[in-house]
Amino acid sequence: MHPRNKHQGRYDLIQLQLETPALSKFVKSNPNNELTIDFSNPNAVKTLNKALLKSHYQIKEWDIPSQFLCPPIPGRADYIHYLADLLVPGNNREIRGLDIGVGANMIYPLIGAREYNWQFVGVDIDETALKNAQKILEGNELSTSISLRLQSDSNNIFKGIIRKDDSFDFTMCNPPFHASLEEAHAGSQRKLNNLAKKTNQLLPKNKNPKLNFGGQAAELYCEGGELGFIKRMIEESVEFKNHCRWFTTLVSKTNHLPSIYNALQNINAKEIRTVEMTQGQKHSRFVGWTFK
């Protein structure tokens, strides 16, 4: 993990239970007699997130509706910290970011606001997600740091969102990984298997992977999958190159990188960065490009 990431090593579940007693009913011992939770249980994962956000980021009010994406906090924090490194020099002034697909959980703006005092605009195509995000903002008095915008056209990414007077230091995005619902289910099952291996616990048989991590359709899959989404983002970034310093996006599949680099060369990006990230056994990365 990034050296500034607060989630090094195993979760301190004893301390987290003291600060968030509701977590206690989900904590158990694995076969190695280590404290863990059942990561196949969506309520356990959500309660762990509540505890982590409260303990490490002073987020006292946080919840998400059933079946919305409940992301792991450490990986989200890594993206924020590596973005901070990308923005050097220049991070000694007010930083403003655009989160594409902020979701009901709003994790990136929450961590960015608490860790670096960044300003954010969060964007989503789902009105229910934005209503929940607004409740989180108001519950933590963050409405002056974070604002929300509805993308009314699901075919657009920056269009209809970035305004003439907008200026951003970065955009960030966790794009839909999959091209179909079936592919999303298979991906959730792989994620479950990896978590079980990491935490030395056995998963119940016949679990529906869709129920474990949640996620509305737009959060999980889109036409063209991850690569199609990122290519549309790259194409649209040209129109807004004077409004943003760095455009960035997570890329889950390494075999997508050559096509992404080719698309970035076609739009004459001045600089391209790929930042590798590792959280335990999970490897991820984000690609950034700039016209500056």
**Domain range list for the chain:** 65-290
Q: What letter would DSSP give residue 246? A: E
Of 288, 142, 15, nearest to 7 (Cα)?
Answer: 15
pLDDT bin (cut points 50, 70, 90) of residue 210 is very low
pLDDT tens for 50-108 read 999 999 999 999 999 988 888 999 999 999 999 999 998 655 579 999 999 999 999 99
pLDDT tens for 143-192 read 999 999 999 999 999 999 999 999 999 999 999 864 545 555 455 555 55
Q: Does 3.40.50.150 match the CATH number of domain 65-290?
A: yes
| Residue in this structure with the two tokens 């016209």, named with its chain if needed | 291
Distances (CA, A) of 265 to 24, 126, 272: 51, 32, 9
Mean pLDDT of the chain: 87
Q: Is the pLDDT of residue 224 over 80?
A: no
Q: Look up the pTM and report it.
A: 0.86
CA distance 140 to 142: 6
* Interval 218-241 mean pLDDT: 85
